[in-house]
Amino acid sequence: MTSSTTEPISPSRYVTGHDENGRAVFSFEGQIPTTSFDDKGRKAIFAVPWQTTTFPAECSGPDAVTLGGPLNNESGTVCRIVEFPPNMSSPPHRTVSLDYGIMVSGELELELDDGHVRSIVPGDVCVQRGTMHTWHNRTDKWARMVFVLVASKPIEVDGKPLEYVMH
Q: Note the pLDDT tens digit of each residue in 69-78.
A: 666 678 888 8
pLDDT at 76: 86
The verdict on residue 41 lying in a domain is yes
Q: How far apart are the first and last CA of the chain?
A: 32
CATH of the domain at 122: 2.60.120.10
Average pLDDT over residues 10-38: 88
Cα distance between residue 96 and residue 80, in whole Å: 15
Domains in the chain, number: 1
Identify which has the larger pLDDT, 59 or 152: 152
The verdict on residue 5 lying in a domain is no
Average pLDDT, the chain: 86
Average pLDDT over residues 54-59: 82
- Output Rg (C-alpha) for the chain, integer angstroms: 17
The verdict on residue 10 lying in a domain is no
Cα distance between residue 4 and residue 19, in whole Å: 44
List beta partners, residue 114.
none
Query: Which DSSP category does 4 fall into?
Result: T
The verdict on residue 26 lying in a domain is no
Which amino acid does the sequence have at 121?
V
Is the model's pLDDT at 2 over the cut of 50?
Answer: no
Print the domain residue range for 148: 35-153+162-166
Q: What separation in angstroms does the CA of 155 have from each of 8, 73, 131? A: 34, 14, 9
Confidence of residue 125 (pLDDT cuts 50, 70, 90): very high
Identify which has the larger pLDDT, 135 or 166: 135
**All residues at 6 or more sequence positions from 5 whose CB lies less than 8 Å from its CB, including other chains:** none
pLDDT at 6: 80
Cα distance between residue 63 and residue 144, in whole Å: 26
Q: Can you give the pTM of this predicted structure?
A: 0.86
Q: Residue 61, Cα to own-chain centre: how many angstroms?
A: 25
